[in-house]
């Protein structure tokens, strides 16, 4: 894969039917990549396929639940065969259960871990042989919740902490093995995606991302920058950088902020009906959900330092 251009790059994206995954697929389509979009089912896959093809990209869709190891292995194999290999894998599938730990059903807690953490593990395990063959790379979507505990999101926080540790360990192992595969972790602040509208909740309220929330496109731009020049970890959003720093150097103050605004700031309106995002396909081809997502100046400045490396000889 040339670092200067992504045209012709063979890409697999999980969670590609909405939010960050769909924003990334759209941006890579504009770059001329060939894309395999993986999600649980319709109507999101059809909408994502139409959106990427409008950008002129060669794209295919594959239905798989990333929590099902055999299903995602089959999807990766199919994408590798149909695209003739893989140069880039973007693991962005995630789900969320909202509420205090003592009120969350054990099955719902475990489902969040299965999708958000083990889903990425299954995807990378299945894709590594193809990435080894192409000297490719992977970008895993983490979260500031992987550094800073987020109240009302205990399973999601646990999954993102585990994901950050896993990616770090894998990166070191690949380096020790002199593998050509490079793995990046992109850690966003709260993002305005449709995930918030379909999350399971025990409060009777539809949660919302903490302010300030950022646009999914800011994360997609960072993912593409890491595809050109892999970095160990990149945080998206100035608020995430600030909160991570506060938590690292003054944890008591960070905890006070999370006990107060961290809980109240996520409370939204009443739910008209229970959402079904934990176990059923909910992607509908939407990138944003209307929670006031904004661009990130800090991320834009950071991306200027992610200049392409020289192409591999």
Catalytic site residue 156?
yes
From first to last of its 313 residues, what are the pLDDT tens digits of the chain? 544 579 999 999 999 999 999 999 999 999 999 999 999 988 899 999 999 999 989 999 999 999 999 999 999 999 999 999 999 999 999 999 999 999 999 999 999 999 999 999 999 999 999 999 999 999 999 999 999 999 999 999 999 999 999 999 999 999 999 999 999 999 999 999 999 888 889 998 889 998 888 999 999 999 999 999 999 999 998 887 788 787 888 888 888 888 888 899 998 877 776 667 788 887 777 888 776 655 655 666 666 655 443 333 3
pLDDT of residue 282: 79
Q: Which residues contact 176 (CB under 8 A, 6 or more apart)?
A: none
Could you tell me the pTM of the whole model? 0.92
Max Cα-Cα span within the chain? 57
Q: Counting beta carbons within 10 angstroms of the beta carbon of residue 235, is it exposed (0 to 12), middle (13 to 18) or buried (19 or more)?
A: buried
Per DSSP, the three-state class of 75 is helix
Q: How many residues does the chain have?
A: 313
pLDDT recorded at residue 237: 87
Class level of CATH domain 10-303: alpha beta
pLDDT at 2: 46
R_g of the chain, CA atoms, integer Å:
18
Task: Look at the alpha carbons of 9, 63, 46, 224 in this order and tell me if their dihedral is positive or negative.
Answer: negative
* Given 98, 156, 214, 261, the catalytic residue: 156
pLDDT at 310: 35
Q: What is the pLDDT of residue 184?
A: 98
Alpha-carbon gap, residue 277 to 282, rounded angstroms: 6
């Amino acid at each position: 894969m040339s670092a200067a251009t992504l045209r012709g790059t063979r890409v697999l994206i999980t969670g590609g039917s909405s939010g960050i995954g769909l924003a990334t697929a759209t941006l890579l389509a504009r770059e001329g990549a060939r894309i395999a979009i993986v999600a649980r089912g319709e109507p999101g896959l059809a909408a994502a396929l139409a959106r990427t093809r409008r950008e002129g990209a060669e794209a295919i869709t594959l239905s798989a639940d990333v929590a099902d190891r055999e299903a995602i292995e089959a999807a990766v194999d199919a994408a590798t065969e149909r695209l003739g290999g893989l140069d880039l894998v973007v693991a962005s599938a995630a789900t969320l259960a909202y509420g205090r730990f003592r009120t969350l059903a054990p099955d719902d807690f475990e489902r969040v871990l299965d999708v958000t953490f083990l889903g990425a593990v299954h995807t990378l395990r299945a894709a590594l042989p193809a990435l080894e063959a192409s000297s490719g790379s992977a970008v895993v979507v983490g979260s500031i919740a992987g550094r800073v505990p987020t109240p009302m999101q205990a399973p999601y926080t646990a999954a993102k902490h585990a994901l950050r540790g896993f990616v770090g360990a894998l990166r070191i192992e690949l380096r020790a093995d002199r593998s050509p595969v490079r793995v990046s972790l992109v850690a966003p602040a709260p993002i305005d995606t449709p995930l918030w509208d379909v999350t399971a909740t025990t409060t009777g309220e539809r949660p919302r991302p903490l302010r300030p929330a950022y646009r999914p496109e800011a994360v997609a731009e960072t993912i593409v920058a890491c595809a050109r020049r892999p970095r160990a970890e990149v945080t998206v959003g100035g608020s995430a950088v600030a909160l991570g720093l506060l938590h690292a150097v003054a944890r008591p103050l960070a905890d006070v902020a999370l006990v107060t605004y961290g809980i109240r700031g996520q409370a939204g309106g009443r739910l008209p009906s229970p959402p079904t995002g934990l176990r059923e396909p909910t992607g509908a081809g939407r990138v944003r959900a209307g929670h006031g997502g904004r661009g990130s100046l800090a991320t834009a400045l950071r991306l200027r330092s992610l200049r392409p490396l020289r192409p591999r000889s």
